[in-house]
């Protein structure tokens, strides 16, 4: 398998899932402003959507959208325990968590990274993101180590990824101690360290 990625971006969550599952994927960086890959290919020819991640499967099919990639990868190696079995309430809880991260956290950063957003717009976006982080912190109020309970899942790799952007928008995660602790637990995992090293972000 081959993953097209941008270092530290949302594709990091898919990369973490691959390595946690025991895969050693080929990876190729994408320059998003030019839509050229590190090898000089037109990224639109690989993924017409133009954004990352994209996972090229061994049969040549291309899978896009991080939430889909993470679950597909987890299902290829169920013994890794990265996702509850399909059709269970646990799997629905995983999908619930992944969709919340995608729509309520990940997308909340968009206006903060957009140079066209004025100061007032960024202030509103930051306040919205803080409220969403408050809510996410409350999910851990029962003392659980990870989003679904005692065990790491692909949702935790995704949450780790988006929490990593906080410093870039002026947020100190110390204000959310449970999220900070979860992020530290995920960061300490050998597969996560290997992923960060492979992307050159450590």
72, 93: one domain: no
101, 174: one domain: yes
75, 145: one domain: no
27, 37: one domain: yes
Match 């410093």 to its residue by tokens: 167
Burial label, 179 (beta-carbon count in 10 A; 0-12, 13-18, 19+): buried
39, 127: one domain: no
**How sure is the predictor about 187, in pLDDT bands with cuts at 50, 70 and 90?**
very high
114, 59: one domain: no
DSSP one-letter code for 54: E
Give me the domain span that covers residue 9: 2-80+191-199
Distance separating alpha carbons of residues 13 and 195, to the nearest angstrom: 9
75, 93: one domain: no
What CATH number is attached to the domain comprising 164? Answer: 1.20.1050.10
160, 96: one domain: yes
40, 69: one domain: yes
Mean pLDDT of 44-61: 97
**How sure is the predictor about 25, in pLDDT bands with cuts at 50, 70 and 90?**
very high
Task: Output phi, psi for 15, to 5 deg.
Answer: -65, -45
Express each pLDDT in 56-95 by its tens digit: 999 999 999 999 999 999 999 999 999 999 999 999 999 9
Residues, the chain: 202
Q: What is the pLDDT of residue 202?
A: 75
Distance separating alpha carbons of residues 88 and 41, to the nearest angstrom: 41
Q: What is the pTM of this model?
A: 0.96
93, 171: one domain: yes
Helix intervals (H) in the chain = 11-20, 43-46, 66-76, 89-100, 110-113, 119-138, 154-163, 177-187, 190-199
Total domains, the chain:
2
124, 60: one domain: no
148, 76: one domain: no
């Amino acid at each position: 398998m081959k993953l097209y990625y941008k270092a530290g971006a949302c594709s990091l969550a898919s990369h973490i899932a691959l390595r946690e599952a025991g895969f050693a994927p080929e990876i190729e960086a994408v320059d998003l402003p030019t839509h050229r890959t590190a090898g000089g290919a037109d990224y639109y020819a690989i993924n017409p959507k133009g954004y990352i991640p994209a996972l090229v499967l061994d049969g040549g099919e291309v899978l896009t959208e991080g939430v889909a990639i993470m679950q597909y990868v987890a299902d290829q190696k169920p013994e890794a325990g990265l996702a509850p079995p399909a059709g269970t309430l646990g799997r629905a809880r995983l999908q619930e968590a992944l969709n919340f991260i995608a729509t309520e956290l990940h997308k909340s950063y968009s206006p903060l990274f957009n140079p066209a957003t004025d100061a007032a717009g960024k202030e509103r976006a930051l306040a919205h993101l803080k409220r969403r982080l408050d809510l996410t912190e409350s999910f851990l109020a029962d003392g659980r180590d990870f989003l679904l309970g005692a065990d790491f899942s692909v949702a935790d790799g995704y949450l780790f990824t988006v929490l990593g952007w906080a410093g870039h928008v002026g947020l100190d995660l110390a204000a959310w101690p449970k999220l900070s602790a979860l992020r530290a637990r995920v960061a300490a995992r050998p597969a996560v360290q290997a992923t960060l090293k492979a992307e050159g972000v450590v």
